[in-house]
Structure formats: C-alpha cells, structure tokens
Structure 1
Amino acid sequence: MPQYIRPLLRAYSLGYVSFVSPRLLHILLSRANKSKSEAFIIETLRKAFELNRFPAFCGITVGGWRLLLPVTKTVVKQICSLPSYSKNFSATTHKLIANFFASFISGAVGLQLLNGGYPEAPAGRTLDLTLWTATRALDVLVGELWLRRKKRRLESGNWSRFEDGIGKLADAMAFSLTAGIVMFAWFYIPEQLPRAYNQWITGMSNLDSRLIVALRRIRGGEFIYGEDTGQADLLGPYCKMMGLLEVLGDPQRTVPIPCRLIHSGWTDNCEKHAVWRFWSSWTKAFVMYFPLNLVTRLRRPSLKSLSQALLQSARSSAFLGAFVAIFYYSVCLTRTRLGPRFFPNLSPMFWDNGLIVKMGCTLCGWSVLIESPARRAEMSAFVAPKALGVVLPRKYSRKHQWREVLAFALSFAVVMTAFHANKARVRGVTGRVLGRIVA
C-alpha cells in the first residue's frame, strides 16, 4: 500500500470505530425488540459512511494532510528558493512550513464538511471538538515556550527551585482551575456543559436536586434567610423524606440551612460526612475504572497486569473520592466551621450566596495530585475544553462559523507541525494516537 494512503485509512478506521462502537453498545443495551435493533444497527452502519460524519472527518483531516504534503512542500520550496528568502530558511524550516499549511487546509476542509450536513441548524455542534483541539495546540505552544525558557535558564545557571516547582505543578494547577470552572457551571449554568458530562457529574455528586435549586435561588435572591419568600415547600419535603423536621427546610424559621441537610441527613458531623463521601465516591468510581483498566491490559494477561489494573483503579478512584470529599468539606468549613468563627459579623446569606460553592470549586481540583504526573496531564487536557465551553456560546449563527473553522484549522496545524518536529511535544493519548496513524 502506498505510504501516503496509510494515514488516511488508519484515521478513517479509527474514526469509524469511535463513531460506531458507542452507538452499537447503546442499541444493544437499550432492550429494544430484535427487529428495531437490527434496523438501528443498519442505520448506524450506513450513517457512518456519510461524508459529513466523524469517520470521513478523521480521514480528511489526517489523510488530507498527508496527501497535500508533497504539494505544499513543492510550493514552499519554490518560494523559499527566491533570492530574498533562500538565506533565511533552512531545509527543516521548509518542512515545518509545508506541514503547517497542509494540515491547515485539510483541517479547515474537514471541519467544514463535518458541519455541512445540517445547513439549516445553528452552528456549534462541533464546538467541543474545536475546543479540544485548541487546548491541545495551547498545550504544545506553552510547553515549547517553557522548555526553551528552562533551557536558557539552566545554561545561565539561573534556574530556581520555584520555577522547577511551577513546572511540576503546572498540570495540577491547570486542572484545578478548569475543574473549578466546570463545577461552578454545573451548579449555576448547567446548560453550558455537554449534556452527558452534566449527567455524569450529577451522578457522582449524589446531591439532591432540591439542594442545588436552593443554592441557585439563594444566589438569585429568591431564597432569603429570615424572610417568607414562599420557599418553605422546597426543602420541607426533602427534610421529611430524610426523617427530619420540615421546619429545618424553612428559611424563615431556620437560619442557616443545617449542614445535616447538605450531608443528606446522614450525620451532623462534617468530618464524618467527608469520610463517608470519600468512601462512597471511591467505591462508585472503582466499579467504573477497574473494568476499563482491566480491558486495556487483556492483550498481555498476567498477575502483574491484574495488580497494575487494581492499583491504577484504586488510585484513580481515590482521586475522584477526594475530589468529592474536598468539595463537600470545603462547603462546611466555609459556612459553619471557619467562616462564622473568624468573621462573626457576616450573615449566613453572605456565605451561602455563592461563596461556599466558589470555595469548593477552588479547592476540589487539587485532589488531582493523587494521580501520576502523566495522568494529571491527560485529565487537564480532558477538562480544559469543557471549561472553555462554559464561556462560549454553544449555538451561534452560521454566518460566524468561519471563526470556528479558522480556530480549528490553526490549532490542528499547530499540533501536526509540532508532532512532525518533535513527537514528544504532543503529549498523552493525542501523541500516541497520532504516532500510530502517521507511522
């Protein structure tokens, strides 16, 4: 098979599997009757071959880059051979420029075709893909600038321990910031998050929706301590469900909302509740992580691979358990343990009017330090696009779609050019997948 065709077929095949597999699994688990399941499966397999679907997008972006590369190399070589340019660019620079333009063109064409099947719908359906690519490009650029700075500082003997610490904690800081933005959005503007991701956070939080509504109404000025604003019926039934007095949910008669309500009625003790949250989240996460880690090691089954799967699952579950426990305990520390003790003149409304959520969002992400440095980088790359999506419109007019296409094409070009120059510069799963496709 010609070398320039291989990346196209590999990228298309990977895109096809990524597109079809979750849909087929959903159909098989949906308990639909046999005839409907067969119809859905056939329809899914048929749609996967359409030009405006993800498999074709993968083939066009990566495969198109490889097909265009000889053309862009020729054009760049001709331009750089002119007397005014010949002394300014090396052969390596020629290749990088050619890679940039080839991937820029293929990226723009690929995203435009991916959006082409819905001409009447608002633009924005590919925003998550664009943001993911943009954060990968940003990681490449920032990482390269940091490495160059480190090299200069080491050569001059000025590299400090503080700078070394910043480098080691960069991914943890990025995750903490972006995870905090995502959690704040989940509380107050959940429509800005992808639906599936929003549902996943809801499931892991194990927090009654009435408490979330109460926090939103406090922030919106509808739920006010010491006043009858018609909110007693919101938390009263919740208290009754937990076997507590309904008056505990009445903001006019009970100030502030007792911590026991936030603890799901389990205990009055905030520390015991944090430990319970950690354990319940750990067990829930372990059930999710262990099968995934086990499947990735089935290619070489052994006692060692089994123990590695157990240890990795336990570690990742500890991260998630700590994330949830730190969030809840930060809320309790702010509103009852430390806040009123150090600032007794501030009203309970001051703490519950968004500040407790902000404190939880600020601190919970640091639980990522439990994970390995490589996992921190991957998790930061996963959450960062979600955080960017919070501040950007998920639907917009098609007349502005060229902006998203331009952003994606530039980001894709940066990633592909960096990969061509130094494969290690594109970190994590992205680098490993590109290595298999382009090899």
Structure 2
Amino acid sequence: MPSRCGLRIHTHLDLFLNSTANFFRSLPDDHPVRIAARTYSLSLSLTLGPAVFSALASSKSLSDGVRALRRALKRELSPSGFAFAMTVAVSGIPALQEILKRANESYQDLNRPDSAHDHRVSGGISNAKSPSVSPLNASQTFLSNAVFSCISLLLLRGRGRNSRKGEFALDLSLILFVRALDSLVQRFLRDRLERGYAQEGSRVSDSSKQRLLALRTNVDALIFWASSARIMWCFFYEPERLPKTYNKWIMTLANIDPRILGALRAIRSGAWTYRGRVSTIPDLVSSLSTDLGYPSAWGDASLIPAYGGSQANGTWKTLGVRGRNGVGGIPCELVHGGIGGSSCAANATLRGSRAFLEALMLYLPVHFLPVILSRPHIFLNPSRLAKLLASVCRSAAFLSTFVSSIWIAVCLTRTLLLARLFPFVSHDFWDGPLGCTFAGSLVCGASIWIEEGRRRGEIALYVLPRAIRACLPEGWLRKRGTGMRLAETLTYVLSLSTLLTMAMHRPDSLRGLSRAALAFVLHGTKAGSSKRKPSEGPPMSGGPQDAPHPDQNAAKID
C-alpha cells in the first residue's frame, strides 16, 4: 500500500507539472504570467546568489552558516524581497491590462445575442457599442507604473533590520535614477537624429551621426573619470561613504594592506606627521614592516625622513634602506606590501596582471548576460563568439590598467619624479590627501578609453550611483529623517516609472543592461526581432508593439 500510494502521488505530481508546463508554454510571451515569471527569476538571480555566498562566507561554523543561509533565503524569497518587489512593479500594468481584457470579453459575451429571440428580448441592447481596451498612452503608462512602483517600494521597506537601515533601498534608488536619467538623455539624442532623418528624407549625414556619437562617448568617459576619482578618494579616506560590499570589492581588487590605508588616513588627520616625527599609533607601519621581513625601524615615524636631499640619504644609509636616495617618506617596500620589492615597475606590473585575471571572471557574466537574454543565437556563430571573448579581454585590460595606473601615479608622485624634483616639500604633502593618492585617483579614470565606445556608457552608469552616494551628506544618510525618506521615495518611484515607461513606449532610449533586462522580462528572448519600416515615425503612445526600431537607414547610436 505505501508503494502504491507513493506511485499514485508521483503520477499525480507528474501530471500536474506537465499540465502546468503545457499551460505556461501555451501563453504568449507578453502574457503577465510569463512576464512575472521572467521578472522574478531574473531578479532573484541577481540577489539570491550574492546573499547566499555572503551568508556562508561570513559564517564561522556550520551552525552559523545554516542560520545565515536560512535568514538569507527567508529575506530574498519573502514578499519583501527584491525579486517579489520588482515583479510587482514590472508585471503590474500587463496584469491590469489582462484583467481589463478579460472583463471586456465577458461583457461582450453577456451582450452577444445567441438567437433572434434573444435579440428581440434584449430590446436592441446588444447593438450597443461595447467598451474596448485601448493601449495606454505614455502619460497613462507612467502614472500606472508610478502606482505599482510605490507598492514595490513599500514591499522593499518591509525588509526591516535586514535592509541595514535602508541602505539597500537607497542604493537601488540611485541606480534607477542614473538609468532613468540616461534614458531621457538617449531619447533626446535619438529624437535629434530622427528629426534630421525626417528632414533630409533618406538618411542622417555621417558627420551628424559621428558628432553625436563622439559627444556621447566623451560624456560617458567624463562621467566615469569624475565618478572614479571621487570613489577612489573616498576609498582611501572616507570608506564609510561607499556601500560596504562595493568598498570590500575595491579592497580585494586593490590588494592593499589595511595598515597602509590607516597610515594615509592618519597623515590626513594629523595623527601621523613626518615633520613632527610623531604617530599616535607607533606600531601602525612598524608592524607591517616586521611582517614583511624588514626592520621595524623602517615604519617608525620618528626615524623616517620628512624631506629629501642629502640628509635623507644619510638616514636611509643608517636604516639600511636602498634605492631611496633623494626622497623621504615610507619606503616603497612597505607601500607595495611586499609585491615587487622596491621596484615600482614590478609592483605595478604584477598588480595589473593579477587584476586582469580577476577582471576576466568579473566581465564574463557582464558581457555574456545581455547576449543570453537578447541574442542567444550568437553562441552558435564561432566568429561572433570569438569577437565577444575579445571584448571580454578588452574590458579586463581596462580594469587592469585602472589598477596599475593608480600605483604608477602613486610611485611617480612620492618616489620616482615629483618628490625628487621638489625635495624641499615635506612628505606630509606627498603622502597626504592632495599628494600621491590624489594623483592616483585622478589618472585611473583615463583607462576608460581602452574600452570600446558603447561599453564606456555601461561602465559609467555602473559607477555614477556610487559616486553620487559618496557626495551625499553622511549625517543626512545616517539619520534617515523625513526629508531623506521622501527624497528616496520620489527618486525610486519616478525613476522606476520612467524606465518601465521607456521600455514600453521607447525601448530605443534604453541601452546596455537596462535595455537587455527590460526587453527580456517584457517580451522574452525574441525581443527586438521585429524592425520598423523606414517610413514609420516614433510613436509616443500605444503598447510595446508600437515601439520604434530604426532600420539601417536610421541613425543608430548604440
């Protein structure tokens, strides 16, 4: 009996799963059920994996790991989780339209005469024009999206203590704000091109396209440069202004000893001074020197020369430091953290090589995810797959150059060039917030030019929210008063509503991951397969099927 019962349960379960799968496959790609399923699965993949990894990595024992894993699963799978909140926001309008469509069909069925007798009895009521469900225009879509965005934000705020006092909602709001603002800028650029296309009759001149392309890539590069400079400066001196996970990732990629960062911050605050030969934490750098196998005196603030010149040479000879004649400050062996020894070139090269390998692991999903979502057939084409891999290597070279350029700038400032040219300037300046770290923060952003043009924009959109957060008043963020919460609410609702409205009416205004992700959740893997005829203009109302797709004669700025 138990075996028959189990077999019966297994059979019923198979029938249920097969019927459910058949029902799901029978639905069109734009059905709200399929939209909700795609949104939930994609959103869950973005948060559940990192949450589980973080929970397990931070656990000291098996029992702690199990409890942390349970908390992470409960948080991410609950109605207040990111996946469910995004599903409500994205599938809200499709679900509402489906409900109205079914209600309209029911109304028509009730008033449809089945016979001449029914027609006579109805007294002509059946001839009355039944209401139709017309597509929402852009304004109606935006307002409807705003309602569902409010609901999703309320769900996210239900995360309670696990939200780390609203940091998650704030960071998400800034990310959405940057993406929404970018969509408005891209729409403006495309409208300019399409107006020129309509006026000239056939195609926009190549010079006009090139000017707008150059403008966009230059603006993207400028945004990245300014954002990365702010982020790196905060990493050195005010890490609390950055999201904890982001700061931890930079720390891992930079591979710098925390004691060197502590010394930099002590120099900025005056707790460490070369000229005064004082350090409030005497063993801060001395312990690092000992751990690296050097004399502790190399990290003693009372012994390290503050200026360059002949006096510094005598001190270095006494301490046994080689290759630092003419300059003062902490020896390079300690700053390098044992990588490359005293050679600044070897240090930068080794760190750049290590960053390149780590960047490969980072950029593989970044490059492949949009392709998997929107153009999976590329994987069947060897030449296009090779081109995609080359693009991954190019992105890895960009990040590698970003890391190594910081170290090159630091060493050129405090050891190889500027400190030698101006030995009378104290290393309280060269190692201070306007010295070597400031130079490194400024030059690293120039590495963005290694990236291809369209990737520069995606990278700029990634770092800009962090830079904006780093510019907000820390006290304002910490208190999270009424003004803060109101600003966060408006930013989240307006930004998410703008993105969803653009995805439904002007998908050509989106780019990068925003376009790929929203096209996937709204239309499935076949999104973007249809093309608009050259004579068609860019409609500003209607459903997703009315969205413009500029053909080869139209100006493409992707």
1:337 corresponding residue in structure 2? 416
* Alpha-carbon offset, residue 126 of structure 1: 0.9
Which one-letter code corresponds to 2:406 in the other structure? F
Q: Distance in 2 between matches of 1:38 and 1:407?
A: 36
Q: Distance in 2 between matches of 1:150 and 1:290?
A: 33
Matches within 5 A, 1:395-434: 395-397=478-480, 399-400=482-483, 401-434=485-518
Matches within 5 A, 1:21-100: 21-24=49-52, 47-68=75-96, 95-100=137-142
* Alpha-carbon offset, residue 166 of structure 1: 3.4
Q: Distance in 2 between matches of 1:244 and 1:33?
A: 36
Which deviations, in whole Å up to 9, do the C-alpha atoms of 1:113-156 show, x marking residues without a partner? 21034299844441111111001011112233344566779989
* Alpha-carbon offset, residue 101 of structure 1: 0.8
Alignment partner for residue 224 of structure 2, among 161, 172, 175? 175
Q: Distance in 2 between matches of 1:254 and 1:180?
A: 29
- In 2, are the aligned partners of 1:260 and 1:267 still within 8 Å (CA)? yes
Which one-letter code corresponds to 1:429 in the other structure? L
Tell me, yes or no, if structure 1 residue 189 matches structure 2 residue 204. no
1:130 corresponding residue in structure 2? 173
- In 2, are the aligned partners of 1:52 and 1:113 still within 8 Å (CA)? yes
Task: After superposing the two structures, state which structure 1 stretch, 7-16 or 28-37, moved more.
Answer: 28-37
- In 1, are the aligned partners of 2:363 and 2:395 still within 8 Å (CA)? yes
Residue 34 to residue 224, structure 1, CA distance change in 2 (3 Å): closer
2:286 corresponding residue in structure 1? 236
* Alpha-carbon offset, residue 404 of structure 1: 1.0
Show structure 1 runs of 5+ residues with no match: 73-91
Which one-letter code corresponds to 2:176 in the other structure? T
- In 2, are the aligned partners of 1:323 and 1:365 still within 8 Å (CA)? yes
1:89 corresponding residue in structure 2? none
* Alpha-carbon offset, residue 220 of structure 1: 0.6
Q: Distance in 2 between matches of 1:160 and 1:16?
A: 39
2:429 corresponding residue in structure 1? 350
- In 1, are the aligned partners of 2:285 and 2:299 still within 8 Å (CA)? yes
Residue 106 to residue 396, structure 1, CA distance change in 2 (3 Å): farther
- In 1, are the aligned partners of 2:336 and 2:347 still within 8 Å (CA)? yes
1:219 corresponding residue in structure 2? 268
Matches within 5 A, 1:236-255: 236-255=286-305
Which one-letter code corresponds to 2:409 in the other structure? S
Q: Distance in 1 between matches of 2:503 and 2:187?
A: 12
1:201 corresponding residue in structure 2? 250
Q: Distance in 2 between matches of 1:153 and 1:343?
A: 55
Alignment partner for residue 144 of structure 2, among 85, 93, 102? 102
Tell me, yes or no, if structure 1 residue 369 matches structure 2 residue 449. yes
Residue 10 to residue 287, structure 1, CA distance change in 2 (3 Å): closer
Q: Distance in 2 between matches of 1:14 and 1:407?
A: 23
* Alpha-carbon offset, residue 62 of structure 1: 0.7
Residue 10 to residue 164, structure 1, CA distance change in 2 (3 Å): closer
Query: Secondary structure of the equivalent of 2:137?
Result: helix
Which deviations, in whole Å up to 9, do the C-alpha atoms of 1:335-388 show, x marking residues without a partner? 233323554543322222112212111111221222222322222222111112
Q: Distance in 2 between matches of 1:233 and 1:21?
A: 40
Q: Distance in 2 between matches of 1:165 and 1:305?
A: 25
RMSD: 3.8
* Alpha-carbon offset, residue 186 of structure 1: 1.1
* Alpha-carbon offset, residue 32 of structure 1: 9.2
Residue 102 to residue 309, structure 1, CA distance change in 2 (3 Å): same
Residue 306 to residue 98, structure 1, CA distance change in 2 (3 Å): closer
Q: Distance in 1 between matches of 2:218 and 2:359?
A: 25
Which one-letter code corresponds to 1:12 in the other structure? Y
Residue 30 to residue 224, structure 1, CA distance change in 2 (3 Å): closer
* Alpha-carbon offset, residue 198 of structure 1: 1.4
Query: Secondary structure of the equivalent of 1:251?
Result: coil
Give the number of equivalent residue pairs. Answer: 420
- In 1, are the aligned partners of 2:149 and 2:493 still within 8 Å (CA)? yes
1:311 corresponding residue in structure 2? 390
Which one-letter code corresponds to 2:180 in the other structure? A
Alignment partner for residue 144 of structure 1, among 187, 201, 211? 187
2:359 corresponding residue in structure 1? 285
Show structure 2 runs of 5+ residues with no match: 1-26, 101-133, 306-328, 524-558
2:18 corresponding residue in structure 1? none
* Alpha-carbon offset, residue 427 of structure 1: 0.8
2:158 corresponding residue in structure 1? 116
- In 2, are the aligned partners of 1:68 and 1:102 still within 8 Å (CA)? no
1:389 corresponding residue in structure 2? 469
Which deviations, in whole Å up to 9, do the C-alpha atoms of 1:21-61 show, x marking residues without a partner? 44455677789999987777666555544321112201211
Alignment partner for residue 262 of structure 1, among 335, 338, 342? 335
Which deviations, in whole Å up to 9, do the C-alpha atoms of 1:153-194 show, x marking residues without a partner? 998999698775333222222222212211111111112222
Q: Distance in 2 between matches of 1:6 and 1:371?
A: 36
1:12 corresponding residue in structure 2? 40
Residue 236 to residue 45, structure 1, CA distance change in 2 (3 Å): closer
Residue 312 to residue 221, structure 1, CA distance change in 2 (3 Å): same
Task: After superposing the two structures, state which structure 1 stretch, 4-13 or 24-33, moved more.
Answer: 24-33
1:83 corresponding residue in structure 2? none
- In 2, are the aligned partners of 1:7 and 1:438 still within 8 Å (CA)? yes
Q: Distance in 2 between matches of 1:284 and 1:36?
A: 29
Residue 344 to residue 229, structure 1, CA distance change in 2 (3 Å): closer
Residue 315 to residue 152, structure 1, CA distance change in 2 (3 Å): same
Alignment partner for residue 378 of structure 1, among 433, 440, 458? 458
Which one-letter code corresponds to 1:210 in the other structure? R
* Alpha-carbon offset, residue 435 of structure 1: 0.7
Task: After superposing the two structures, state which structure 1 stretch, 409-418 or 365-374, moved more.
Answer: 365-374
* Alpha-carbon offset, residue 260 of structure 1: 3.0
Looking at CA atoms only, which structure, 1 or 2, has the larger radius of gyration? 2
Q: Distance in 1 between matches of 2:74 and 2:504?
A: 34
Residue 117 to residue 236, structure 1, CA distance change in 2 (3 Å): closer
Q: Distance in 2 between matches of 1:280 and 1:260?
A: 19
Residue 64 to residue 301, structure 1, CA distance change in 2 (3 Å): same
- In 2, are the aligned partners of 1:69 and 1:102 still within 8 Å (CA)? no
Identical-pair percentage: 28
TM-score normalised over the length of structure 2: 0.65
